[in-house]
Amino acid sequence: MLRNNSHIHLPPNFSAFITVQQVVDLASAQDVRVIGVTNYYDYCVYREFAEAAKKARIFPLFGLEIISLVDELVKAGVKVNDPGNPGRMYICGKGVTKFDPVRGDAAVILEKIRKADIQRMREMISKAAEVFCRAGVGLGVTEAGIREMIVRRHGCPANIVYIQERHIAQAFQEAIFAKVLPEKRAELLTRAYGITPKSPVDDAVRTQNEFRSNLLRAGKPAFVIESFVSDAEACKMILAMGGIPCYPTLADGATPMCPYEETPEKLIANIRAMGVAMAEMIPVRNTPEVLLKYVKSMRAAGIAVVGGTEHNTLDLIPLEPTCVKGASIPDEVKAIFWEGACVIAAHQHLAAKGEEGFVDASGRPNAKYASADERIRAFAAMGEKVIMEFLNGKQGKHYAVAEV
């Protein structure tokens, strides 16, 4: 069993990392040998990652993340895996192989997502700027300025930058810290938020998080209603790109837990109803006890489970996942996460060769196996062999960017 991480964001996505090479260097130093990249809305950086990972003997897993809306859950006010926005569902794709370039149905859906996302970010930036003007301080934050901030930080082309809520929060936080004296910040933020901030006025990351919670969430002053794709469209895009749809689980990462996943049994029923065969945890949000309960229950129900870190704040935490406050992940969970990472590797390996993987192009389970458990075990064994061959220097089409 190797150290692995199924979910990080590479720059220019909002990320703790400055460059792709930094990720690879840290993974090598920390002996994390399998890394899954899971970006939003542009995947050009994956080729650079694949090349750097190959040189460093790190097995690359390619994925993506999509924010979708489930209309009936929006109307019912049910929170899924976003504690601030009812009906908003994050969906991941694992082991994608058709991203260089994105074509066909996937390209159509991706362009729809990009256009809606660009317009929403533009409106949120404008609304947030107006909030601070009304609070008495013009911060001068603009869409163009945020894009320049991202390009400057990561040294990337502007055309692969897609602004996220976290970028907005970072830009406003940096403007506040630059223009407002520390002793005046709490007063300004109180006027902007309508409540007294809880974060220390010199803590950049916590200020960014509070900014999002108090201004960008549903019902808050700078919130703009999403026009994201449906969960069905998100899964269609993932499958068209050769991947495995995967449900990212929040569990006790939210207090109270989101109703959609408030018990393992309820979550399992919902995942099955979606026709999804894989789930993911970000354990840094979870206590070991809750993590163990959810992961064991999902795996017993025939759902493959993986674990990552996201690294989607400026905190440069270790690449090997841990639980909340650095608590160790139970060994039984580590084994399940390794199994899941191997399943993705096998799927990616087969799909890159044009063969059927863990799921077919319609999302149906590979029909060669009598049960979900048998399928998971078979793909895990295959994937472990693929990973080990790659790490031992044997070449082959083990990943989507072939023969890099």
Residue 69 lies inside a defined structural domain of this protein? yes
CA distances from 325 to 16, 155, 249, 311, 328 (A): 18, 32, 18, 15, 9
Residue 131 lies inside a defined structural domain of this protein? yes
Q: Which domain holds residue 193?
A: 111-216
Please give the pLDDT value at position 85. 87
- Copy the structure tokens of residue 354: 């044009």
How far is Cα 210 from Cα 208, in angstroms, rounded to an integer? 5
Please give the pLDDT value at position 227. 81
Tell whether 57 and 130 lie within a shared domain: no
Please give the pLDDT value at position 277. 97
Tell whether 90 and 140 lie within a shared domain: no
Tell whether 379 and 281 lie within a shared domain: yes
CATH number at residue 39: 3.20.20.140
pLDDT tens across 90-126, in order?
999 999 999 989 999 999 999 999 999 999 999 999 9
Q: For residue 156, which of 36, 48, 262, 301 has the smallest C-alpha distance?
A: 48
Q: What is the DSSP string of 275-341?
A: T--EEEE-GGGS-HHHHHHHHHHHHHTT-EEEE--B--SS----SS---GGGPPPPHHHHHHHHHHH
Residue 319 lies inside a defined structural domain of this protein? yes
Positions of the chain with pLDDT lower than 50, given as ranges:
397-398, 400-404
Please give the pLDDT value at position 400. 45
How far is Cα 151 from Cα 146, in angstroms, rounded to an integer? 9
Residue 236 lies inside a defined structural domain of this protein? no
- Specify the number of domains making up the chain: 2
Cis before 330 (ω within 30): no
Residue 317 lies inside a defined structural domain of this protein? yes
Residue 46 contacts residue 40 (beta carbons within 8 Å): no
Please give the pLDDT value at position 326. 95
Say if pTM beats, i.e. exceeds, 0.85. Answer: yes
Please give the pLDDT value at position 130. 98
Please give the pLDDT value at position 26. 98
Please give the pLDDT value at position 395. 57
Residue 160 contacts residue 12 (beta carbons within 8 Å): yes
